[in-house]
Structure 1
Amino acid sequence: MARKTLPPKPLESDVYTLACERTARIFDTFDHVYVAFSGGKDSTAVLNVALEVAHSDPRFERHLPLRVVHQDEEAIPYETEEYVRRVGQRDDVSLEWYCIPIKHRNACSRTSPWWWPWAPEAREKWCRPLPPEAITELDGFPINPPEKRLTAPHANGLFAPPSLGNVGMLMGIRAQESLTRRRIVTQRREVNYLVKYNDGTSQGNIWKCYPIYDWTTDDVWTAPAHKGWDYNHAYDRLEMAGVSHHLQRCSPAFGEEPLQKLHTYAKCFPDVWEKMVDRVPGVGAAARYALTELYSYHGRPEKPDGVPWPDFLRHYLTKWQAKDAAKIAARIRQELVAHYRKTSQPLVVNAPHPDTGISWDFLLMLVMRGDFKGRKQAGGRINTDGEGRPTPAQWHRYAAELNDIIAAGTFADLAHHRPPPADAYDLVPDYAKDPE
């Protein structure tokens, strides 16, 4: 059962001051710290806050030059490489530039669901030449065979061996980015930005540290402008292309969520895009069709009348490899169990259920897209009032759709275990009877 999250606590300090205070505590607490630096906007904020704090007091000088670990994902803009190089040339930075075949998701293809940047067997297809600063081996990381290679989370422990003592890994994770990330920092009231990390190769001595977890996208961009920080100029190209600030990404756009912006690489970074098309299976098709129902963006396939929704989902499950299909099926069961533990009311097609946020369309999206990183959470689809209850408008949307389904004679397609109500508005709680 998910732990209950705590409501936001208003503070008088600004987010920059709070980030500095958290970073100072991290520097005092841990034997060793390093910045996990992608070259993106969020890790840029973390890096610069950490450097300013490190220079602010003699007691922090033991952390200088600041260790900065960059995992180069190969299919990235040249502007990112140039920016990382500028960071590495700073006297107060000790940069480690890793080009190793970390295991990454490839949502462009269901038959080739993984890809490995800088994989030695794909050298002739690399999107960029190997940077001269590249570190191509990491103690404990298996290069061959490919199936033994680690994902980034599972490899984190290799950057923090026990010989370093207790290690704080500074990361640019922000609660605004997803419901999952918000929950991470809202389940504890005290020191909620430090999370013990025990996955993969971790040996129990590493903590994930989120000093800017409460920053918004506006904050992330205000800070460089106000403080004069250097930044990744790939964002300038994305800005000129009209990509909204919230969706601007410089990492490889092969995952489930970044996939919807894959086409911007062709427009903004053509020199890398030319190589990307041949580098990873399915990229060409995804660039053309990612915003269609084929990849479950901007619409879903229409279910035939008379086909129960569970059967429709099973049809799309068969399009995955067995191992991935099993993971997705387990997620769907988990969502359904969570729903029926909370309510005995049926799911409808489009409207999120006010108590759980689940609908059949949401489950179909999970089946078609995968969501292997768990970034799509049904709870984020619930709109609440000032008392934390689902809004009357959300209840009335659900009831109206359920009544329409009953009237159309398609209630059986919902595969509900009880007869339909005479009037779905009877399911609306008293406080929500009057629509907003």
Structure 2
Amino acid sequence: MKAKPRKTRDRRFVDESVYDAALERMRHLYARFDRVVVSFSGGKDSTVVLQLALDVARELGRLPLEAHFYDEECISPDTEAYAERVCAWPDIALTWWCVPIKHRNACSRQQPYWYCWNPDEREMWVRPLPAAGVVSMPGFVKGMMIPDCSQLPFLGSAQTVAMLRGIRTQESLRRLRMTTMTQVDNYIHQSPNSRNLWLCDPIYDWTFEDVWVAPSRFGWDYNRQYDRFEAMGLNHMQQRVCPPFGEEPLGLLHTWAICYPELWHRMIARVPGAATAARYALTDLYGHHLKAPPDGLTWRAWTWRVLDLYGEPWRSRVALSLRTAIGEHQRKTMRPISESEPDPLSGVCWRVLAQMALKGDFKNRKIGSLVQQAHKTQDRLGLTLDEVIALEQDNDGTRY
């Protein structure tokens, strides 16, 4: 097999702080777009974006700064209090959306989604509707997720809109690849759902340390939920303000019972499987650091048995993720899929596929991490990527 030429773009280091670079990007966005809107979550990254955008808006006379906050109902009292403080700032025009967004529920295979602020389940809401909450959005249809409806507030307008996000490339290889696809304005991406909306990541090159230092250095307000995380001894990579029931944050679901016991009692009544997940998310039951399949099964047999635990239409959705991963393997190599060692070129093995089945991987996050699995195997074997590609030339052509 002839090795294909690879397109690489190495990082370029410049003699400029990330703070100054982010301010320059903000000024560029204000010059290029008619409207600049901050997507505010209450987390540390969106806090940095909000404050930087506010500084530039003041500098350019573009106040008030627009911000959109999607209230996901199961948020902490600290996050709600922080959003209320931001909403009260005279230089910020915050729209507080409380619409029935569809959210992932990795706690349950039978009900893998739940809907915040569902009007049909009003008696089960974990919090009263906020005073500033907006409950209707033109064009919104129940079942939409945030990426599906984020462009709706701007429909019918001829203005170009820059939606500012707190996306950083340090957090995932997928985000790094997205940023390196272009060399000019690599932090600006046109929304796939709208012709006049651009998704902009002005702090893409900030590190965890940068984000944590900035509020202290500049005296910014922040979400006090992080103080609780710090008191619990969580490391900074674990301290995330996000929907608690998704596949990635599931391992820290138990912290809600410790930090917010009164809210937690309402949360476990609100979302199916939450109490079970809080207790067992870090065990084999949810695929956490699974070392061996049960009952003497092979990883391959266990993968298909787990798939059968899902009801339709979810079984078909998980099966699609598995087929996509297997297809990627077949596209890259002629080697059969190993039981437990990720392939050095595709990153696929039946152990990884079993973990995908256990977690559901409805957002295809695990598929995006297969490249990292491949790199780990290359490191263990002491091979470079070019050497792994060269091995394909000696393959006998047998797939399975």
Q: Which amino acid aligns with 1:64?
A: L
The offset of 1:341, in angstroms, is 2.5
| Aligned residue runs from structure 1 range 270-349, under 5 A | 270-299=261-290, 302=293, 304-305=295-296, 309-349=299-339
Q: Tell me the equivalent position of 2:370.
A: 378
The offset of 1:303, in angstroms, is 5.0
Q: Which moved more, 1:332-341 or 1:343-352?
A: 343-352
The offset of 1:86, in angstroms, is 0.9
CA deviation profile, 1:50-72 (whole Å, cap 9, x unmatched) = 0111122xxx32x3100011011
CA deviation profile, 1:217-273 (whole Å, cap 9, x unmatched) = 111111111111110001100110111111112222100111111001011122321
TM-score computed with the length of structure 1 as normaliser: 0.83
- Aligned identity (percent) is 42
CA deviation profile, 1:24-59 (whole Å, cap 9, x unmatched) = 111111111100101111100110110111122xxx
The offset of 1:322, in angstroms, is 2.3
Structure 1 residues 394 and 151, CA gap change in structure 2 (3 angstroms): farther
Residues 383 and 394, structure 1, Cα contact 8 Å, conserved in 2 = no
The offset of 1:5, in angstroms, is 5.5
Aligned length: 381
- Aligned to 2:198, what secondary structure does the other structure show? strand
Measure, in 1, the Cα distance between the counterparts of 2:119 and 2:327: 44
Q: Tell me the equivalent position of 1:29.
A: 32
Residues 22 and 211, structure 1, Cα contact 8 Å, conserved in 2 = yes
Q: Which amino acid aligns with 1:391?
A: D
Q: Tell me the equivalent position of 1:75.
A: 74
Measure, in 1, the Cα distance between the counterparts of 2:134 and 2:305: 45
* Regions of 4+ moved over 6 Å: none
Q: Tell me the equivalent position of 1:260.
A: 251
| Aligned residue runs from structure 1 range 221-240, under 5 A | 221-240=212-231
Match of 1:210 among 174, 197, 201: 201
Measure, in 1, the Cα distance between the counterparts of 2:253 and 2:156: 39
Measure, in 2, the Cα distance between the counterparts of 1:74 and 1:125: 11
Structure 1 residues 322 and 14, CA gap change in structure 2 (3 angstroms): same
5+ residue gaps, structure 1: 143-147, 397-415, 419-436
Asked whether 1:89 is paired with 2:88, we answer yes
Match of 1:7 among 10, 26, 30: 10
| Aligned residue runs from structure 1 range 421-432, under 5 A | none
| Aligned residue runs from structure 1 range 31-70, under 5 A | 31-56=34-59, 60-61=60-61, 63-70=62-69
Q: Which amino acid aligns with 1:357?
A: G
TM-score computed with the length of structure 2 as normaliser: 0.90
Q: Tell me the equivalent position of 2:98.
A: 99
Q: Tell me the equivalent position of 2:109.
A: 110
- Aligned to 1:247, what secondary structure does the other structure show? coil
Asked whether 1:149 is paired with 2:148, we answer no
The offset of 1:127, in angstroms, is 1.3
Measure, in 2, the Cα distance between the counterparts of 1:392 and 1:132: 56
The offset of 1:394, in angstroms, is 5.1
- Aligned to 2:132, what secondary structure does the other structure show? coil
Q: Which amino acid aligns with 2:189?
A: V
Q: Tell me the equivalent position of 1:192.
A: 186
Measure, in 1, the Cα distance between the counterparts of 2:310 and 2:22: 43
The offset of 1:100, in angstroms, is 1.0
Measure, in 2, the Cα distance between the counterparts of 1:214 and 1:380: 20
5+ residue gaps, structure 2: 385-397
Residues 75 and 251, structure 1, Cα contact 8 Å, conserved in 2 = no
Measure, in 1, the Cα distance between the counterparts of 2:235 and 2:131: 33
- Aligned to 1:94, what secondary structure does the other structure show? strand
Measure, in 2, the Cα distance between the counterparts of 1:4 and 1:328: 31
